[in-house]
Amino acid sequence: MDVKSVRSLPRISRFNRTAGSRAIARVALAGALLTLSALGLDALEAAPPGGKGWNGEPIVNTRFGAVRGFEDLDDTWVWKAIPYARPPVGVLRWRAPRDPLLWTEIRSERSFNAGCTQYALLSPKVIRGSEDCLYLNVWRPRDGETGLPVYVFIHGGGNTMGWATQLSDYQGSRLAARSRMVFVSINYRLGPFGWFTHPALREGQSDVDASGNYGLLDMIKALGWIRDNIQAFGGDPHRVTLTGQSAGGMDVLALLIAPKAKGLFQRAVVQSGVARTSSVAEADLMSRSVIEQLLVADGTAKTHAQADVATAAMTRLALGAYLRNKSDREILRTYGPSKNGIIANPDVLNDGAVIPIEGFDSFATGRYASKVPIILGGNREELKSILASSKTIPWQGELFQAVVKYGSARWRAFGVDEVAHRLATHRDQPPVYTYRFDWGAPDAKGTSVLPGTWGKRLGAFHALDIPFFLGNDTIFGALQLMLFTPANEPGRKALSAAMMQYLASFARTGNPNSRESILPTWHPWSNVPGTMKALVFDAREKALAISISTEELTDARVLRATNTDLVEPMRGNVLRYLDKMKNPWGLR
Beta partners for residue 82, in sequence order:
136
Per domain, the residue ranges of the chain are 1-264+272-370, 373-586
pTM for this structure?
Answer: 0.91
Going along 221-292, which residue ranges are E strands?
235-245, 267-271
Tell me if 344 sits within 8 A of 278, measured CB to CB.
Answer: no
| Fold of the CATH domain 1-264+272-370 | Rossmann fold (3.40.50)
- Assess contact for 351 and 267: CB atoms under 8 A: no
Burial of 515 (0-12, 13-18, 19+ CB in 10 A): exposed
Q: Which residues pair with 436 in a beta bridge?
A: 378, 536
Q: Where are the alpha helices (DSSP H) in 388-430?
A: 398-412, 418-424
Can you tell me the distance from the alpha carbon of 348 to that of 219, in angstroms, rounded to the nearest whole number? 12
pLDDT 10s per residue in the chain (588 long)?
A: 333 333 333 332 322 333 333 333 333 333 333 322 333 333 234 444 555 789 999 999 999 999 999 999 999 999 999 999 999 999 999 999 999 999 999 999 999 999 999 999 888 889 999 999 999 999 999 999 999 999 999 999 999 999 999 999 999 999 999 999 999 999 999 999 999 999 999 999 999 999 999 999 999 999 999 999 999 999 999 999 999 999 999 999 999 999 999 999 999 999 999 999 999 999 999 999 999 999 999 999 999 999 999 999 999 999 999 999 999 999 999 998 887 889 999 999 999 999 999 999 999 999 999 999 999 999 999 999 999 877 788 899 999 999 999 999 999 999 999 999 999 999 999 999 999 999 999 999 999 999 999 999 999 999 999 999 999 988 886 788 899 999 999 999 999 999 999 999 999 999 999 998 899 999 999 999 999 999 999 999 999 999 999 999 999 999 999 999 999 999 999 999 898 876 675 555
**35 contacts: CB under 8 Å, gap ≥ 6:** none
What does the CA dihedral 89, 94, 96, 98 come to, rounded to 10 degrees? -10
Report the pLDDT value the prediction gives residue 29, as an integer from 0 to 100.
Answer: 32
pLDDT at 388: 83
- E strands, 225-370, where? 235-245, 267-271
What residue spans of 167-279 are helical by DSSP H? 173-179, 191-194, 199-202, 214-229, 247-257
Q: State residue 586's pLDDT score.
A: 57
Rounded to whole angstroms, what are the CA distances from 361 to 4, 157, 431, 483, 545? Answer: 27, 24, 19, 40, 36
Question: For the chain, what is the largest distance between any 2 Cα atoms, rounded to a whole number of angstroms?
Answer: 77
CB-based burial label for 440 (10 Å; 0-12, 13-18, 19+)? buried
**Triad 221, 426, 156: Cα angle to 5°:** 35
- Burial of residue 339, with CB atoms counted within 10 A of its CB: 0-12 exposed, 13-18 middle, 19 or more buried: middle
Residues 6+ apart with CB under 8 A from 360: 253, 257, 275, 276, 277, 419
Q: Which amino acid, one-letter code, is at 252?
A: V
Q: Is 86 exposed, middle or buried (0-12, 13-18, 19+ CB in 10 A)?
A: middle
CA distance 456 to 155: 27
Closest CA to 462 of 379, 376, 394, 401: 379
CB 47 within 8 A of CB 64: yes
